[in-house]
Amino acid sequence: MNGPPWLSALTFLPLVGGVLVLALGERRVVPARRLALGTAWATLLLAAGLVPHFDSSSGAMQWVERHRWIAALGVEYHLGLDGLSLVLVVLATGLVPFALLAPGGPRQQAPLFWALTLFLEAGLIGTFTALNFFHWFLFWELSLIPAFFLIRLWGGPDRGPAANQFFLYTLVGSVAMLLAFLVIYRAVGTFDFLALAELGRTNRLSPQLRLSWGGEPVPAETLTHWVFAGIFLGLAVKVPVMPFHTWLPAAYAEAPTGVTMLLTGAMSKMGVYGLVRLLVPLFPEQVRALQAPLLGLVVFGILFSAATAFAQRDLKRMLAYASINHLGYALLGLLAAAGTGAADPLRLNDQAAALNGMVLHLFNHGVTAAALFAGVGWLEQRSGGRRGLEDFGGLRRAAPVFVGLMGLALFASLGLPGLNGFVGEFLIFKGAFALVPWAAAAALPGLLLTAVFLLTLMQRVFHGPLERRGVAGSDVTRGERLAWAPAVAVMLLLGVYPQPVLALTNATMVALAGSWRAL
């Protein structure tokens, strides 16, 4: 079962690189920067190197590593990748080098900033590869700590309250999830995700919870719902699902540009990933029973976040609410598929379409949202820190290349056919309309609202009379164009040929949809 430890190498490479960057310290800033970038690029190359060797016809875990760790507690060092986790690992490792190169980098304690960014990357990779809750929870929390300090030490004027709010919200969710899993461990004696998923699939988890805790302080009939709620809360805060979203706009607005790119591009995917890997496999019956209220919450979030984004005057806050809006579509696809228990082959196709669309949408959102926040960072850098909707105008004449790049990312974000944002949304709505037509129809106006506020942003910032203050310096430099090139290539390629991602995910999504059926 245990082959070459590629996943361990992938996980610990950023950790080792971060420690070495710290060791170089302030006295050797240039070598520290080169080492940080070299580590990030090496991690990306290692992740990309797994793709050609991935068996896309199998929905099973690959590159599995499994070793005894704490036998008395049922804790194993258990790693593996399927199509879902591989796509998210490639996304996370692909964003880190560009986040390190983003505008508005650290002006002081730069080696510490770069090291914390690498530690955050290790937390992301570990979260997407761990298959034992104890191991997984360590990396889940590891991603929280460096993100907190990156916001707190290098953020904007209100970085303190923003970082504290981010930390407290996430910590409360993590504690709720930890308590829920301790209840599960007491009942079944394992933290292993695959074993727990099998118990959920065969409807054996809930009865064992009742037998283990029946008659004790929580009534047996409600215990499963409390455990479900604890896990859901921990994951919903991270997505975030409204009304657990209030930490996100402040965190995104105050974080340095590179950190915001990672928060929206990769870290926000951890919550959705947890729903797919943990909540739905363990509690498929509860998800089906609560599908309508959960979908109602998601639809409300889609519409409300789009309307709130339209009311913002800070570009970063506008894009932060846009991020909540886009993640809502991913949740729509997930819950539409997870709430369907019938074994009808046609429904299985619709479930697979919704789930494939969800993963493709997550990947595309990671790329386009990170590019948009990078663009806002460029504006801040060239305009002396201004980023208000009314602070600019006529940029199309002053910086035509920049406007072209940002315009491409904005059109991709609103789902223009021919760009990457369209295909994922199309697959989500294709599956959702067949499975839960009321929710798909109710969420559809969100697409219109998204287009309205993104087009408003384009009109106010790029067109109209040229604002005298404008932006200092020239248009985007050659180096900045090269930094944009990979994102542009992804937006164009996946808009007309999404198969590179869908080929990796389809077998995994079909297997997941099949495992969630009612027995």
pTM given for the model: 0.93
Tokens of 229: 């709620």
Tens-digit pLDDT profile for residues 429-470: 999 999 999 999 999 999 999 888 888 888 888 887 766 666
Cα distance between residue 353 and residue 20, in whole Å: 44
Determine phi and psi for 35, rounding to 5 degrees. -65, -40
Tokens of 238: 């991270």
- The residue among 324, 320, 495, 367 whose CA lies nearest residue 98 is 367
Q: Is residue 431 in some structural domain?
A: yes
Q: Which residue has the higher pLDDT, 381 or 127?
A: 127
Cα distance between residue 5 and residue 426, in whole Å: 38
Q: What is the pLDDT of residue 445?
A: 92
Tokens of 268: 């926000």
Tokens of 442: 């109710």
**CA dist list (Å): 154 to 117, 148, 149, 162, 446:** 12, 10, 8, 12, 34
Q: Is residue 364 in some structural domain?
A: yes
Q: What is the pLDDT of residue 137?
A: 93
Provide the number of structural domains found in the chain: 1
Cα distance between residue 161 and residue 250, in whole Å: 8
> Which residues touch 141 (CB under 8 Å, ≥6 apart)?
123, 174
Q: Is residue 379 in some structural domain?
A: yes
> DSSP state, 264?
I
Percent of the chain with pLDDT over 70: 94
> Which residues touch 362 (CB under 8 Å, ≥6 apart)?
87, 88, 91, 269, 272, 327, 330, 424
Cα distance between residue 192 and residue 132, in whole Å: 4
- The residue among 239, 231, 393 whose CA lies nearest residue 326 is 239
The answer to whether residue 242 scores a pLDDT higher than 70 is: yes
Tokens of 339: 């709430």
Q: What is the pLDDT of residue 467?
A: 66
Q: Is residue 395 in some structural domain?
A: yes
Terminal-to-terminal C-alpha distance of the chain: 30
Place of tokens 């943990």: 278
H/E/C letters for each residue in 303-349? HHHHHHHHHCCEHHHHHHHHHHHHHHHHHHHHHHHHCCCCCCHHHHH
Q: Is residue 472 in some structural domain?
A: yes
Element (H, E) at 91: helix 83-100
Long-range contacts of 499-502 (CB under 8 A, 24+ apart): 501/87, 501/359, 501/360, 501/363, 502/356, 502/360
Q: What is the pLDDT of residue 453?
A: 87
> Which residues touch 112 (CB under 8 Å, ≥6 apart)?
22, 153
Q: In terms of residues, how long is the chain?
A: 519
The answer to whether residue 361 scores a pLDDT higher than 60 is: yes
The answer to whether residue 486 scores a pLDDT higher than 90 is: yes
Percent of the chain with pLDDT over 90: 60
User: 224-233 in b/e burial notation, b at 16+ Cβ within 10 A?
Assistant: bebbbbbbbb
The CB density around residue 389, as the number of other CB atoms within 10 Å, is: 18
- The residue among 469, 285, 476 whose CA lies nearest residue 387 is 469
At residue 364's C-alpha, the angle toward residues 434 and 325, to 5°, is 65
Mean of per-residue pLDDT scores for the chain: 89
3-class SS at 496? helix
Tokens of 4: 């070459």
**Chain centroid to CA 321: how far?**
14
**Domain residue limits at 382:** 292-519
68 bridge partner residues? 76
> Which residues touch 213 (CB under 8 Å, ≥6 apart)?
183, 186, 187, 220, 223
Least confident span in 69-78, 90-99, 309-318, 339-348: 339-348
Q: Is residue 419 in some structural domain?
A: yes
Q: What is the pLDDT of residue 221?
A: 63
Rg (CA), the chain: 22
> What is the pLDDT averaged over residues 43-71?
91
Tens-digit pLDDT profile for residues 282-293: 998 889 889 999
Q: Is residue 209 within 8 Å of residue 185, measured between CB atoms?
A: no
At residue 76's C-alpha, the angle toward residues 73 and 79, to 5°, is 150
Q: What is the pLDDT of residue 1?
A: 54
